A = this chain, B = another copy of it.
Amino acid sequence: MDSADCPLCRDEGLDILWRDARCRVARVAHPDYPGYCQVLWDAHVREWTDLAPADRTHCLAVVSVVEEVLRTLLVPDKINLAALGNQVPHLHWHVIARFRDDAHWPDPIWAPRRREGLLRSLDRARLVRELEAGLGATGTSTP
């Protein structure tokens, strides 16, 4: 998959919560996981170690703030982090708030569903506000 075919090279269909000059934070519309965000690196980079060290540091700092925001807003039993990309080989991190009574616990969300999970609500405006508190307002560092 090259950049022209890549859904993560465009914003179409993505719910972008925050962005800077290098990456975006999107909310994933997953029916079981309201506390599911992704950090999407802007450049069409395949593997984590294809990023220059300074970009790795920046990317992980954003992932870490997303994790902290989800911990603050939802107090989950666990956060799951993953950079997979088998289907869309454009670097993106999954940051998922997990609960003991969610649909797949204790398995990863890619395992078969175990139950009708209990859903928590998470207000989009609060999520954006907390991300901006942790990362700075969207646009402030955008070229």
Q: Which A positions have Cβ atoms within 8 angstroms of B? A: 46-49, 56-57, 60, 63-64, 67-68, 71, 77-87, 89, 98, 105-108, 110-112
How far, in whole Å, are A86 and B80 apart by their CA atoms in the complex? 8
| Beta-carbon nearest neighbor of A51 in chain B | B64
CB distance from A116 to the nearest CB of B (A): 18
Please determine whether A64 and B48 come into contact, CB atoms closer than 8 angstroms: yes
How far, in whole Å, are A68 and B50 apart by their CA atoms in the complex? 9
CB distance from A31 to the nearest CB of B (A): 17
| Beta-carbon nearest neighbor of A112 in chain B | B112
Please determine whether B82 and A86 come into contact, CB atoms closer than 8 angstroms: no
The one of B47, B77, B81 that contacts A71, using a Cβ cutoff of 8 Å? B47
Please determine whether B106 and A108 come into contact, CB atoms closer than 8 angstroms: no
Residues of B within 8 A of A89 (CB): 78
The one of B57, B79, B98, B105 that contacts A48, using a Cβ cutoff of 8 Å? B79
Residues of B within 8 A of A78 (CB): 46-47, 84-86, 89
How far, in whole Å, are A94 and B70 apart by their CA atoms in the complex? 22
The one of B60, B80, B85, B107 that contacts A56, using a Cβ cutoff of 8 Å? B60
